[in-house]
Amino acid sequence: MQIRAFVEADEARVVELWQRCGLLRPWNDPHKDIARKLRVQRELFLVGEIDGRLVAAVMAGYEGHRGWVNYLAVDPDLQGNGLGRQMMAEVEQRLAALGCPKVNLQIRRGNTEVLAFYARLGYAEDDVVSMGKRLIRDDADGKKADT
């Protein structure tokens, strides 16, 4: 797999990959999330390709204290072949090169397969409560937005 920085021409394929991986939620417009990411550390938005086919993607960021990983996705037909591990190794290397001392990520509690994946990579649950407050609503129907 070749890993490279996201380019605008990848947008439709990345959104489709996120959809196939079950990462999309009605309150997070993926196109808006991509536009926001491209304004901040776009070099930490990576895609993986095999023979020109986009098969993986991940967003990362570092604000000077902690690194964050979001939207790690691997084509469901190719999961279990080490591609997610490769994407995370690349993100961790890029974050470490920026001086990032620790990486955080959030996983929905019931997502046991993903919890196990990150545990195999050396991630452990922190003794913290994750809290959020939405500042910009992406949902169009006016219902209360989740985080």
Q: What are the residue boundaries of the structural domains of the chain, listed by start?
A: 2-120
**% pLDDT > 90, the chain:** 82
Closest to 63 (Cα-Cα) out of 90, 107, 102: 102
> Is the separation of the CB atoms in 145 and 138 below 8 Å?
yes
Mean pLDDT taken over the chain: 93
pLDDT bucket at 141, cuts 50 / 70 / 90: low
The residues pairing with 120 across neighbouring beta strands, listed in sequence order, are none
User: The whole model's pTM is what?
Assistant: 0.89
**pLDDT tens per residue, range 16-70:** 999 999 999 888 899 999 999 999 999 999 999 999 999 999 999 999 999 999 9
Closest to 30 (Cα-Cα) out of 59, 68, 1: 59
Considering the four listed CATH numbers 3.40.50.170, 1.10.260.40, 3.30.300.30, 3.40.630.30, the one that applies to the domain covering 2-120 is: 3.40.630.30
Structure tokens at 98: 């920026």
pLDDT bucket at 137, cuts 50 / 70 / 90: confident
pLDDT score recorded for residue 138: 81
